[in-house]
Amino acid sequence: MMLTFRTAVLSEGKEVERVIRAAFTPYVRALGREIPAAGSAGFAEGWERFLAELERGDVYVALDGEGIVGAVRTKPQEKGLYIQQIAVDPVRQGTGVGSWLLQRIDEVARAQGLGGLSLETAEMAVANIRLYQRHGFEIVSRGPPDHGLDPHTRVYMVKSFQVGSS
């Protein structure tokens, strides 16, 4: 597997969204929800936010050749980088792309001199929690999601590192 990592560009928005949608649809359905359909008000609002993230350089992609096989949406915070979503195309899940993306995002945060990474996932996503723990994340709390769209408990995780360490 020869992957390339870089910041996504605006012209890749639809393909990045396709990868995220394909990766997250089963997860969102397990939470008892649906991803907003293209053309809906919910989709339009989310699409505008996503385009702004692309323009700011907060979205990264994993490419295999020219094809996007994974994506990470991030949000800068005061002392760290929040991982909003990490998505791997379903045909590539289980091949190490997710781990590879986590390593690249770690490198991005360290290069920016940040103190760590943070994320949240559903408590029922046991495989995700194990993956994050293998990459040095620790559970700091559990609780309801801030958005209130479903009742499933979230696990809040952080990975702290000394500035300048690798």
**Containing structural domain, residue 27:** 3-160
What does the pLDDT look like over 80-135, one tens digit per residue? Answer: 999 999 999 999 999 999 999 999 999 999 999 999 999 999 898 899 999 999 99
Per-chain mean pLDDT for the chain: 89
Report residue 29's pLDDT band, with 50, 70 and 90 as the boundaries.
confident
Global pTM? 0.88
pLDDT value, residue 144? 85
Q: Is the dihedral of CA 121, 122, 123, 127 positive or negative?
A: negative
Q: Which residues contact 74 (CB under 8 A, 6 or more apart)?
A: 58, 59, 60, 81, 82, 83, 84, 105, 108
CATH code of residue 75: 3.40.630.30
User: Has residue 123 been placed in a domain?
Assistant: yes
Sheet architecture: strand order including 3-7? 3-7, 59-64, 67-76, 81-88, 116-122, 154-160, 138-143
User: Has residue 152 been placed in a domain?
Assistant: yes
User: Has residue 165 been placed in a domain?
Assistant: no
User: Has residue 44 been placed in a domain?
Assistant: yes
User: Has residue 166 been placed in a domain?
Assistant: no
